Amino acid sequence: MVLARKETVLAGARGRPSRRPRSGSRIVGSRRSTLVLTVLPAVLLMVLFVALPALEGIRISFSDWSGFGSVDFIGLQNYIDAIEDSPFLGSLVTTAIYSSLSMAGIVVIATLLAAAVSGRVRGSAFYRVVWFLPGIAPVTAAGVFWAIAFQPKTGIVNVLLGAIGLGNAHAWLASPTLSIYPTIFVTVWANVGFAFLLVLGAMEQIPTSVYEAARIDGSSTLRTFFSLTLPLIRPVLAITAVLELIFQFNGFTIIWSMTQGGPGYATSTLPVLIYTQAFQLTHFGVGGAMAVMGGALLIVVGLFSIRLSRSKQED
């Protein structure tokens, strides 16, 4: 009888479910809580500072509002006015020229400077700091300085041109055909430092064994740069180009501090035109419509550029 009872107790104990703590589920729950606490502040900030202003801007683009009073819904009239009764299309062309040329100049110069520093040219440690200094200068101050530098006769640019016999009376910023190019020059000068650091970081991640193998094979410095360095840093170059295109498409400070969009609409990029329509002419609805169309265009261009860069990386 005693043995039978023991066997019964043992059998019941074997059949009972284990009451050990589920450490795996606790770890998963802890990770989920950490993830939520980490991501939630970023999501809230994105909603507060990006999503809500964007939705408000879209609402205003369908309304008639002068900055005060009620916001009256008028449908697509602002979009029609933006396309038909303003220099909106011309501003898009100006913005495309300004942003694409600035992006190309920034990426090319940053790549050449990074190659020089990565190649340990004489004084490369000094150049690391000097080539980044324009990037930390106040943008408005830089724009005002260069606007004075491009003045006829008294500006440093014209003084230097006169010293080499090219004349010192060039009215760069007053010419409808030439005024965009000084702004592009200053944009490249002010923004090349950030791209320089990105490209330099990518170059210095390339293993030295790759370059040693190229030297053993008798590859020249120029051939190594085009055949090895550029293909290996192409992903970083592509991302840098896309970022700079977006930054300069939205660029405002340099152009406003140098030309305020003039002469006429010669340097009136889309951000300058939107500012003029909204805050000077108090046509906030038309300005909002321009901003929405420009933002949509920039999203399409950005997605296309990212997709193109990914396809090239997979080849």
Q: Give the per-residue pLDDT at 40.
A: 84
Q: What is the pLDDT of residue 51?
A: 87
Q: What is the pLDDT of residue 2?
A: 44
DSSP category for residue 17: P
Residue 125's pLDDT is what?
75
Name the CA dihedral angle for 17, 18, 23, 29, rounded to a multiple of 10 degrees: 20
In a domain, residue 52? The reply is no
Whether 14 is covered by a domain: the verdict is no
Question: What contacts 240, CB < 8 A, 6 or more positions away?
Answer: 107, 110, 195, 198, 199
Say what the pLDDT of residue 24 is: 54
Indicate whether 187 belongs to any domain. yes
Domain count for the chain: 1
pTM of the model: 0.83
Token pair in block for residue 78 = 């602002």
Give the pLDDT of residue 120.
Answer: 76
**Helix ranges (DSSP H) in the chain:** 2-15, 23-46, 52-61, 77-84, 88-118, 124-130, 133-136, 139-149, 156-163, 180-203, 208-216, 221-224, 230-232, 234-249, 253-258, 270-275, 284-314
Would 49 be classed as within a structural domain?
no
Question: And the tokens for 9?
Answer: 């107790």
Angstrom distance (rounded) from CA 264 to CA 173: 11
Residue 162, domain CATH: 1.10.3720.10
Q: Identify the pLDDT of residue 311.
A: 56
Structure tokens, 117: 């520093």
C-alpha span between 246 and 286 (Å, rounded): 22
> Which residues constitute the domain of residue 280?
77-314
User: Measured between alpha carbons, how far is 207 from 218 in angstroms, rounded to an integer?
Assistant: 18
In a domain, 40, yes or no: no
Partners of 63 in the beta sheet? 73
Give the separation between CA 280 and CA 92, rounded to whole angstroms: 20
| pLDDT for position 212 | 83
Residue appearing with tokens 């495309």: 96
In a domain, 67, yes or no: no
Residues in the chain where the model's pLDDT stays below 50: 1-4, 6, 8-11, 13
Q: Specify if 37 maps to a domain.
A: no
Residue 38, in any domain of the structure: no
Give the pLDDT score at 306. 73
Q: Provide the pLDDT for residue 3.
A: 45
DSSP state for residue 172 in the 8-state scheme: G
Q: What one-character DSSP code corresponds to residue 225?
A: I
